[in-house]
Structure 1
Amino acid sequence: MSKVSYYTPEGLKKLRDELNQLKDIERPKASQAIADARDKGDLSENAEYDAAKEAQGMLEMKISKMEETLANARIIDESQLDTSKVLVLSKVKIKNQTNGMEMNYTLVAESEADLASGKISVNSPIGKGLLGKSVGDVAEIKVPSGVMKFDIVEISR
């Protein structure tokens, strides 16, 4: 059974656009590469044909996975989310108890995560550790180097 993934409207649109790119542009290119390789002669000794068939198989697998993800995708209605606890799409301001550094993160679905823009996955160690916490709580997050403690300073949308 597949798991449900939650997306923002923008994230879902990006996923659909990527799938359309694979289906409408990459798939015909793969078919053409196979046809070109087939025209070059004996298939039993044609490495180009084997490579093209392998590439097509990988492309079809990627398309299949994306279609499954889209079938299980749900859009999050931000207006219905509770701001008293950290949830998906929460903007969280946390303070590291060790060094006093403050950080701002937005918790998003795994496919939308982008650390450079402050978006972390709810499936990441920090994301999992923050989920369900309220302002004033201390999140103890197990990371490879030990346990980090963060104060939850602010939660917003």
Structure 2
Amino acid sequence: MTDYRTPTTFRRYRLPLRALLIDDRAWLLCRDLAKLASFRPDIDLSQKLDPNQLRTEVLRLEDGTFSEEQLVNESGMHQLLLVYYYHPEHRSLRSWISEEVVPALGRQDAPDQQPRRRLMHWQGQELNLMEWQGTLWIRYEDMPRIQGQVPERKARP
């Protein structure tokens, strides 16, 4: 097999969410999204989504095997979590996907002068960084976590 794609794995609450860019659009594995959102992965999503929100691709998984997987784009993910499988806790899941996962995949057509978000694995942690002008930047608030220090909580008066 030579016509395959390799997804990037993100973790939320120890559960994987594999995602990839196809034609500069973010696509998520349906079965990973189903586990994160607690709906059955074997449901026929073609009845719920438009044809442009769903596709099937051959992917190379982490263990080196190949699998034909159903993918949903970001628009379809929002439709699933807002309309068909609505739960108030899905707001944070949608936000995490839109604000961290999709930008970390990196838009391939973005100009080099613009800051871009990157995901980096360092000492067993996933870090969200910003790449700008050839330099990686980290949020000041994340420094104690990276250094293994837990910030002290201030007592309320």
What is the TM-score when the length of structure 1 is the normalising length?
0.25
Higher helix share: 1
Max radius of gyration: which structure? 1
What is the TM-score when the length of structure 2 is the normalising length?
0.25
Higher strand share: 2
